[in-house]
């Protein structure tokens, strides 16, 4: 192996490196920790194991792109771990480390599926170059997947990853990728929480406009006068409070993309003005009698309703609908892509755990918990699943197997597969309330019950309660304050 050969590769940026999952397995603690520290400083997503059994448990719960494995380990030899890793995920790149290199041992690991071998002792530079080569191979695999299981969107902060491999979801994403190269207007349909805005971001990031801004607005969230002002801008004195000229979103998004969510809720007067902008690219601000700007904006519209029914009911102008609906894309609800639920659940678990618990070992879903997750109706779709996993992360202990009864909503509303012992916090009168309001009330009730039981179990000792919950005391006090609970009141409720 010639380490210098790696120098011909263009270095990966930090975003690319952080998306590459690396597992280091060696029963020699000093060497293992040195490898982890060197590669973590390079920006890779690092995990480690000191025993083969621990590594087997890790690869059952998480996919790794690159694995660095010691050949000679007690109980579970490196060669057995190599074969297990390749059998589970053939695209995994495995590099074997050995302190007794020989022609025979090198050939045996390569024949078993290893990508390369690394003779001990080795320098930090040698390690960086080899893992650098492996990382480029990972990126090539992802580009060749066409499309892969996961596409990362660089949209600035937070979680912006489109995840899924089900046929229905991949069909929507494939169409989004094709239309992204054009300037055609796109009309997204799908239930609330199904990921329409993420698909819109995906289209923008894969378009020729990706270096310009994408601006989003929810047409149902603003009253008519404010929505008109936000979209088209206004002149000084146009209405009470208009103390200066203001650009609208069309001007702000000039050269980029404007995403209009819940387009069917837009007032007819604004629809007419929107249609004029689409026809000639000219914007008149509220209060202006002249064309204030010429814009070049790509429109992506979305609704959680059937747009044809909205046209028939008169809520959506037919001429605007056909102008926007050049390429229609239906984003499937989560119940039509249940095979994606384990991937999504693990993705959200890792994301929120890293956000809140940088150093602690991540928990994982037990088989029963994952079965329960997959069996849920998920009427709130991916957004609901994301919310449930985020709240689960607050309540579980580091490194523990998450049980079905520990997951909010699953224990709270008699989830299928949990048996008859689950406590129901779901009163019938919530059926008459909006989904998000009902969901928040159910969650609040769950949290109050959980916190009350938790503090009682700890006998009022808040440090002990925090340990039982797997959170720090600050987080525990924040949750208690959120529900206006007091420790003494909780204890008196026993």
The pLDDT assigned to 110 comes to: 72
Among 77-81, 140-144, 409-413, 484-488, which stretch is predicted with the lowest mean pLDDT? 409-413
pLDDT tens digits, residue range 164-222?
778 889 899 989 999 998 889 999 999 989 999 999 999 998 898 988 899 999 998 88
pLDDT band for position 5 (50/70/90)? very low
Q: Given a cut of 60, is residue 325 above it in pLDDT?
A: yes
Residues of the chain with pLDDT > 90: what percent? 31
The pLDDT assigned to 121 comes to: 86
Q: Given a cut of 50, is residue 102 above it in pLDDT?
A: yes
The pLDDT assigned to 482 comes to: 75
* Average pLDDT, integer, range 418-438: 53
The residue among 299 and 120 whose pLDDT is bigger is 299
pLDDT band for position 462 (50/70/90)? confident
pLDDT band for position 472 (50/70/90)? low
The pLDDT assigned to 154 comes to: 35
* Average pLDDT, integer, range 241-245: 83
The pLDDT assigned to 385 comes to: 92
pLDDT band for position 421 (50/70/90)? very low
Mean pLDDT of the chain: 81
pLDDT tens digits, residue range 221-231?
888 888 999 99
* Average pLDDT, integer, range 110-130: 83
pLDDT band for position 6 (50/70/90)? very low
User: Cis ω on the peptide bond leading into residue 121 (within 30° of 0)?
Assistant: yes
pLDDT band for position 439 (50/70/90)? low
pLDDT tens digits, residue range 123-163?
888 898 889 888 887 877 666 554 444 433 333 333 456 77
Residues of the chain with pLDDT > 70: what percent? 82
The pLDDT assigned to 310 comes to: 93
The pLDDT assigned to 454 comes to: 78
- Winning range, highest mean pLDDT, from 211-220, 243-252, 258-267: 258-267
């Amino acid at each position: 192996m010639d380490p210098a050969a790696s120098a011909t590769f263009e270095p990966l940026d930090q975003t690319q490196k952080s998306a590459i999952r690396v597992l280091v397995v060696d029963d020699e603690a000093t060497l293992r920790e040195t490898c982890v520290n060197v590669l973590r400083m390079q920006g890779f997503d690092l995990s480690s194991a000191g025993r083969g059994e621990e590594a087997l448990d890790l690869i059952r719960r998480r996919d790794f792109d690159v694995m660095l494995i010691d050949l000679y380990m007690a109980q579970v030899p490196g060669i057995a771990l190599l074969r297990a890793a390749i059998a589970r995920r053939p695209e995994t790149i495995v590099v074997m480390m050995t302190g007794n290199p020989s022609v025979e041992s090198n050939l045996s690991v390569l024949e078993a599926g290893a990508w390369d071998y690394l003779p001990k002792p080795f320098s930090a530079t040698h390690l960086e170059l080899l893992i650098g080569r492996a990382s480029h191979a990972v990126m090539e695999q992802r580009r060749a997947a066409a499309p892969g299981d996961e596409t990362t969107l660089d949209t600035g902060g937070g979680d912006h990853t489109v995840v899924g491999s089900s046929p229905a979801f991949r069909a929507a994403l494939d169409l989004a990728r094709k239309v992204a190269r054009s300037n055609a207007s796109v009309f997204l349909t799908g239930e609330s929480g199904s990921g329409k805005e993420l698909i819109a971001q995906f289209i923008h990031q894969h378009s020729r406009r990706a270096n310009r801004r994408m601006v989003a607005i929810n047409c149902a969230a603003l009253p008519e006068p404010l929505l008109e002002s936000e979209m088209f801008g206004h002149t000084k004195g146009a209405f009470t409070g208009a103390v200066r000229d203001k650009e609208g979103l069309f001007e702000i998004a000039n050269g980029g993309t404007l995403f209009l969510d819940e387009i069917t809720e837009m007032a007819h007067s604004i629809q007419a003005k929107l249609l004029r902008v689409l026809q000639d690219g000219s914007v008149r601000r509220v209060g202006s009698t002249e064309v204030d700007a010429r814009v070049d904006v790509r429109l992506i519209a979305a609704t959680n309703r059937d747009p044809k029914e909205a046209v028939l009911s008169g809520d959506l102008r037919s001429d605007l609908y056909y102008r926007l609906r050049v390429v229609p894309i239906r984003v499937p609800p989560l119940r039509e892509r249940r095979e994606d639920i384990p991937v999504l659940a693990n993705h959200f678990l890792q994301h929120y755990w890293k956000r809140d618990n940088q150093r602690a070992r991540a928990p994982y879903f037990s088989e029963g918990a994952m079965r329960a997750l997959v069996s849920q109706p998920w009427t709130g779709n991916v957004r609901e699943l994301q919310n449930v996993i985020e709240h689960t992360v607050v309540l579980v202990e580091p490194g523990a197997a998450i049980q079905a009864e520990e997951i909010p909503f699953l224990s709270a509303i008699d989830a299928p597969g949990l048996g008859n012992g689950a406590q129901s916090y779901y009163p019938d009168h919530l059926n008459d309330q909006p989904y998000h309001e009902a969901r928040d009330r159910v969650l609040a009730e769950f949290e109050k019950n959980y916190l009350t039981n938790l503090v009682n179990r700890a006998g009022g000792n808040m440090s002990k309660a925090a340990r039982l919950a797997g959170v720090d005391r600050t987080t525990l006090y924040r949750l208690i304050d959120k529900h206006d609970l007091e420790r003494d009141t909780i204890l008196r409720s026993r």
